Amino acid sequence: MRKSLMITVSILLIFVIVNIGQAQISFPNSGTLASPGSTLNSWLADDIAESMYSHLTATDGGSQTWDATTVDFIQENTGTVIEASSAPQIGSFPDANFVVRTINLATEEDTVWSYTEWLPMEVTEWGTAIRSSRAGEVIFKYDESTPLYPFPMAFNDEWTTAREGIREFTPQFVENVFDTITYAVDGWGTITYEGNTVDCLRLSFVKRTTTQQVIGGIPMPGTTIETEGAEFFGEDFEFLLNVNKSGPSGFESYSASAFGGFVGSATDVSEINPGTLPEGFELSQNYPNPFNPVTEIEFSLPKSTDVRLTVYNMLGQKVTTLVDQRLDAGIYSVDWDGSNDAGSPVSSGVYFYRLSVGEFSEARKMLLLK
């Protein structure tokens, strides 16, 4: 269908141009910033086929059709946008105005805070703070960086991002990090995952990272790693998919990552009777119970707080995380459709769901019958 569409808003918002007879999009600025409490889940495919990598990266130009449906994604992290001013270690990242907290779903202990400066005409990464059950707290910050993504951005644009940073494990053990990323906006078209087809721009990149360990003040010889791949962005500068190739010649490995908005669906949390203020925390029995295929879980919050609602099997293994975000005081409900984090249906049986809010924790039992 031939069409011409232009949406113009203020400098803090996005407009997208769809050219007549084309699906090409461009980014005049960085888009709308996600608000605190927004969920940004991430998905990972550790090992994708070389043929899939080639399909997504080989051909340049316009009117491309990419299909990533056969990539087997597993949800790796659950992420929540938080207020930058309240983020831990924010003093180490004074320019950051956008912070995402992600929790590793495998361990439920390792937490990463990512610090970004999100401005209308550029996006700059300033580093991360990591809290790990194995390594303790690790701070990685860039002392110098050019923008990761400059705007406006359109097909055929090219630029290089250069950064210098330090990763501090202990005062006596640090790593100096120097990297450059060369970007080229070399393709546009559509990308599909399981029937979800989106207009997009493709950004091909080559990243070269040199790491030098410093132990007790003594610098060690540096090592350099080169990776290459492509990133796909949809309208409003929405991140869709990333593919990487790394490793020496003959021993390459291929991986992919994505946000849940493209490869999965975020759980909808609905507020019941807005304006009602509960007297205390409460987790209600799911209804219906037993159920097939969907059940509703209701919970109450007397104050604004970070909320996690998780489903476990009889062995205590996590099945899925239904809620992991900050919510205002109120009564909420969320549906579970009997699927795990990968979107696959689980078998009939007894399951437990647990509400964790600060020091409050409560669990209930439910029965899935098929």
pLDDT of residue 283 exceeding 80: yes
Q: For the segment 26-58, what is each residue's pLDDT rounded down to a tens digit?
A: 999 998 887 776 777 788 898 899 999 999 999
Q: What is the pLDDT of residue 108?
A: 61
**pLDDT surpasses 80 at 312:** yes
First to last CA, the chain: 44
Q: Is 321 helix (H, G, I), strand (E, B) or coil?
A: strand
Q: Domains for the chain: give ranges and CATH numbers.
A: 5-263 (no CATH), 269-368 (2.60.40.1930)
Distance between CA atoms of 211 and 62, rounded to whole angstroms?
37
Would you list the DSSP string of 230-269?
EEEEEGGGEEEEEEEEESSTTS-EEEEEEEHHHHS-PPPE
Top pLDDT among 9 and 342 is at 342
Q: What are phi and psi of 348, to 5 degrees?
A: -60, 150
With CA atoms as reference, report the closest residue to 6 among 281, 156, 20, 349.
20
User: What Cα–Cα distance (Å) separates residue 368 from each residue in 55, 284, 341?
Assistant: 40, 17, 17
Instruction: List, for residues 204-248, the tens digit of each pLDDT value.
Output: 999 999 999 999 999 999 999 999 999 999 988 989 999 999 988
- Give the tens place of pLDDT for each residue, 190-210: 999 877 888 999 999 999 999
Quote the pLDDT of residue 1: 34
Q: Among all chains, which residue has been given the structure tokens 């249906």?
A: 345
The more confident residue out of 104 and 131 is 131
Residue 103 pLDDT class (50, 70, 90 cuts): confident
The C-alpha angle with vertex 247 and arms to 217 and 178, in degrees rounded to 5, equals 35
Task: Give the rounded percent of residues in the chain with a pLDDT score beyond 90.
Answer: 58
Helix (H, G, I), strand (E, B) or coil at 283: strand
- Helix or strand (DSSP H, E) at 24: none
Q: Which residues are bridge partners to 283 per DSSP?
A: 299
The pLDDT, as a whole number, for residue 163 is 97
| Edge-to-edge strands, sheet with 318-327 | 318-327, 305-312, 349-357, 360-368
